[in-house]
Chains A and B, each alone.
Chain A
């Protein structure tokens, strides 16, 4: 685990500064890796601009495949490229990439253990008013239950870059969620993603906030606000949804009075589901799962929708106070 009070204060400080679109870090990193490794290639489903891979296409035209609007073929092509010794990054809007080609993801990638990297772009509710057709609030639940498939939800540009590098070096299928919602930097400089390892962004022994993706900065903001009320919240970045850092969760269950998970996705089956499953088996803890209920979102911007579903620093703070109250 990454853990020190220095790291914690650095995370909060960085969180207060400018905002980033993680797709930029994704595209930049992919080009860096492609320059280093001739096996790295990109496959897209017409999504050249929405994946921000225009420059990749210009720099590495022979290693850029656009299959058109054809996600089932896209995943199979990725599996075939991997069969031929390439390291394909298969990129598309997460809603289409996962849902449209789920059987191909299961069979061609996971069951086959193909060395393919799935990059689900603009995940969660980032497409805002385009509506539930374009939201990808189910992707983590869907991918998490498939054997052999790792699931990563980076929180900021630094972690996105690190996760993409990790994926390139890992021999097997990985799903990485890449957000387009503006996020502040929350990870310490020089941080390196490691599968199955949660990063402690803030120490605390009253309550633990377990967050992923765009919710990490909001969890840090909630922790800062809680501190002003005399409540010390531990904040864990749970970017490695699968494998899950079970030990970090168990430590939090033992050492703090309750747990709050928070994610930009369905309450069922995602990070909260994973934590609930393991706590039910390994020993209980008070748990609140924040996410999207069993409902499709109304019309609204991504920020509006996060507020609508209580996925804000305030919402996290309230949930944290609630579990602490229950523990008394």
Chain B
């Protein structure tokens, strides 16, 4: 079963209904990630919330050709979460799409749980790369895209990076190689929430003009609202944006999106919600508590 089917966040059909379903899926990812973080008393709420719509569209919108029952089938599209600290959002997404039982989400960071604070591909089906230290995802994604070419396969490689993460030089080494090798089956999505661990990115080490940087490195670049599921679906349907060029989608997002007390608050980078805050988040997100 390809996950683009009915199970994929119940995102069948088209039009506004489909958009509402994807939005609902994204909010389930948000609240579940927060509940996991509350359970573990550790986690990265802000980035989980900013990246939820991208994850919902990639998995729930049927963009990725992946199979929950056969997570390692050779021709699968590769999705790499470079911002590995947002593991809770990824785990929730994978569980909702049948990669492992949803009950397991309640073991997040428990002793001996497969759900480590950062993803481990040897323990969690659907995780393509062990990430956590920043600036690792894009080089690995370049390798995945090169492998597809060497093997004459049509799989695509998607990598979701943070924005603060782009201060790591390894990303730009990888960006040079991606455009040099004309890897147009490679898609970089930047979760541009403008906040890193300690402060706003532009107050820390300026990233803007970010889209221009990617263009200068040879990518076809578009900026979109990273919370607009319709816009995300539309752009994913158009990749590669330019034949012969890797794609970069700068997804402008809000850190802590959807939960008023967490939005645009640097301290919510790794803030842990209280039980009360979790209840409030459920109300604001309009979804039921996962447990």
User: Closest A-chain residue to B137, C-beta based?
Assistant: A76
In the complex, A289 has a CB within 8 A of chain B:
no
Say yes or no: A73 contacts B133, CB within 8 Å.
no
In the complex, A139 has a CB within 8 A of chain B:
no
Given A68-B176, A70-B177: A80 in contact with B140 (beta carbons within 8 A): yes
User: Which residues between 191 and 213 of chain B lie within 8 Å of chain A, taking CB atoms?
Assistant: none
Main secondary structure of the interface of B (DSSP, over half): helix
**Given the complex of chains A and B, what is the CA–CA distance between A302 and B1 in angstroms?**
60
In the complex, B190 has a CB within 8 A of chain A:
no
Stretch in A105-113, A120-128, A149-157 with 4+ CB within 8 Å of B: A105-113
Say yes or no: B122 contacts A73, CB within 8 Å.
no
Residue from A63, A72, A83, A113 in contact with B144 in the complex, judged by beta carbons closer than 8 Å = A83
In the bound complex, residues from chain B placing their C-beta under 8 Å from that of A70 are 170, 173-174, 176-177
Range of interface residues on B (Cβ < 8 Å): 35 or more
In the complex, B227 has a CB within 8 A of chain A:
no
User: Closest B-chain residue to A80, C-beta based?
Assistant: B143
Chain A 28-67, CB within 8 Å of chain B: the 1/0 string?
0000000000000100000000000000000000110101
Which of A78, A84, A88: most chain B Cβ within 10 A? A84
Residue from A86, A107, A113 in contact with B132 in the complex, judged by beta carbons closer than 8 Å = A107
Residue from A72, A111, A113 in contact with B139 in the complex, judged by beta carbons closer than 8 Å = A72
In the bound complex, residues from chain B placing their C-beta under 8 Å from that of A67 are 173, 177
**Given the complex of chains A and B, what is the CA–CA distance between A111 and B127 in angstroms?**
14
In the complex, B142 has a CB within 8 A of chain A:
yes
Given A70-B173, A70-B176: A80 in contact with B130 (beta carbons within 8 A): no
**Given the complex of chains A and B, what is the CA–CA distance between A74 and B169 in angstroms?**
13
In the bound complex, residues from chain A placing their C-beta under 8 Å from that of B155 are 84
Say yes or no: A79 contacts B174, CB within 8 Å.
no
Residue from A65, A72, A111 in contact with B135 in the complex, judged by beta carbons closer than 8 Å = A72
In the complex, B20 has a CB within 8 A of chain A:
no
In the complex, A318 has a CB within 8 A of chain B:
no
Say yes or no: A72 contacts B170, CB within 8 Å.
yes
Stretch in B145-153, B268-276, B277-285 with 4+ CB within 8 Å of A: B145-153
In the complex, A103 has a CB within 8 A of chain B:
yes
Chain A 172-210, CB within 8 Å of chain B: the 1/0 string?
000000000000000000000000000000000000000
Say yes or no: B130 contacts A85, CB within 8 Å.
no
**Given the complex of chains A and B, what is the CA–CA distance between A108 and B140 in angstroms?**
8
Say yes or no: A68 contacts B177, CB within 8 Å.
yes
In the complex, B53 has a CB within 8 A of chain A:
no
In the bound complex, residues from chain A placing their C-beta under 8 Å from that of B147 are 80-81, 83-86
Say yes or no: A81 contacts B146, CB within 8 Å.
yes
In the bound complex, residues from chain A placing their C-beta under 8 Å from that of B138 are 76
In the bound complex, residues from chain B placing their C-beta under 8 Å from that of A108 are 129-130, 136, 139-140
Which of A68, A76, A104: most chain B Cβ within 10 A? A76
In the complex, A321 has a CB within 8 A of chain B:
no
Residue from B135, B143, B153, B173 in contact with A83 in the complex, judged by beta carbons closer than 8 Å = B143
Say yes or no: B129 contacts A83, CB within 8 Å.
yes
Say yes or no: A79 contacts B177, CB within 8 Å.
no
How near does chain A come to B143, taking the closest CB pair, in angstroms? 2
Say yes or no: A79 contacts B143, CB within 8 Å.
yes
Chain A 88-105, CB within 8 Å of chain B: the 1/0 string?
100000000000000110
In the complex, A285 has a CB within 8 A of chain B:
no
In the complex, B78 has a CB within 8 A of chain A:
yes
In the complex, A82 has a CB within 8 A of chain B:
yes
User: Closest A-chain residue to B174, C-beta based?
Assistant: A73
Say yes or no: A84 contacts B177, CB within 8 Å.
no
Say yes or no: A77 contacts B150, CB within 8 Å.
no
In the bound complex, residues from chain A placing their C-beta under 8 Å from that of B78 are 83-84
Which residues in A have some Cβ–Cβ distance to B below 8 Å? 41, 62-63, 65, 67-68, 70, 72-86, 88, 103-104, 107-108, 111-113
Which residues in B have some Cβ–Cβ distance to A below 8 Å? 74, 78, 120-122, 128-133, 135-136, 138-151, 153, 155, 157, 169-170, 173-174, 176-177, 180-181
Give me 23 A-to-B residue pairs in the complex whose CB atoms sit less than 8 angstroms apart, sorted by A's number: A65-B146, A68-B176, A68-B180, A70-B170, A72-B135, A75-B139, A77-B139, A77-B143, A80-B129, A80-B140, A80-B141, A80-B142, A81-B150, A83-B128, A83-B143, A85-B74, A86-B151, A103-B133, A103-B136, A104-B136, A108-B136, A108-B140, A112-B121
